[in-house]
Amino acid sequence: MSPRGAAVRRRPCVASALAILLVFAGAGSSPAEDRAAKRLLRSGLDRYRAFDYEGAAEDLRNGLAAASADDEKGNTLVLRALGDVCVVLGRDADAESTYRRLLDLERKRHAPGDPALNATRWALYAVETALGRHEEAGRLFREVVDESPRAIVTTLVLVDTADINKVTLLSGFPVKYSEALARRALRVHERVYGADRAAAPAARLAVVLRELHRDDEASRLDARLRAVGERAPAGQ
């Protein structure tokens, strides 16, 4: 598989990865551990969707600590969500180690050629690129396998959280796996330029949410943008 430029394919029926995270099965854990881990996962995901990333990170770390070490499925759910939050916050080294742990768990259940590993491989590809580890990023890119139906892809802008003027273009990146990176770009733009000048990255996030069939969230994001625009001084 080789990198591709921006392209649009037939829209696949893509289930939201975050919605799947809510189906939490705590095999091997006590009822109390299961309840605590499930509650913290849900709280972390709610905070993530509400743009409270620091709060989400705290809940998800606590959820990981509450989960039974033997509960591989539960840990997989929390690790994916925590890795995504670390990406948004620009904690790329933490995201890398979290995704690596996630990939190790996934490899116990899936063969190397299983597309079920793609989401984590794409995430690691982006993070390794952000960390400047291009050889490893290339290796992960080559490990990605084709999916059926083929994913809609785009050229993704990877924003350096320490320097908004430092960006990397990731061509052929599946839209359905790009939510964390879209949130990262929006967060950086809002912190540097202000929410009233972040319409473009907000619009890109809305596209991702609609691709994941989360139209209600996309509509709320549109409403949030309109509210910011109405508060902005005339001429801005």
198-212 tens-digit pLDDT: 999 999 999 999 999
Query: Pick the residue with more confidence: 80 or 12?
Result: 80
Q: How far is CA 125 from CA 34, 35, 38, in A?
A: 32, 33, 29
pLDDT tens figures, 35-61: 888 999 999 999 999 999 999 999 999
| Beta carbons of 145 and 113 less than 8 angstroms apart | yes
Q: Report the domain count for the chain.
A: 1
The answer to whether residue 3 is domain-embedded is: no
Share of the chain above pLDDT 90, in %: 71
The answer to whether residue 8 is domain-embedded is: no
Query: Pick the residue with more confidence: 20 or 197?
Result: 197
The answer to whether residue 7 is domain-embedded is: no
The answer to whether residue 5 is domain-embedded is: no
CATH code of the domain in which 208 resides: 1.25.40.10
pLDDT tens figures, 131-176: 999 999 999 999 999 999 999 999 998 999 999 899 999 999 999 9
- What's this model's pTM, rounded to 2 decimal places? 0.83
The answer to whether residue 9 is domain-embedded is: no
For 118, the domain range is 17-231
pLDDT tens figures, 115-134: 999 999 999 999 999 999 99
The answer to whether residue 1 is domain-embedded is: no
The answer to whether residue 147 is domain-embedded is: yes
Whether the pLDDT of residue 3 is over 60: the answer is: no
pLDDT tens figures, 225-236: 888 766 655 544
Structure tokens at 29: 């854990």
pLDDT of residue 233: 55
The answer to whether residue 11 is domain-embedded is: no
CA count, 13 A, side-chain hemisphere, 15: 7
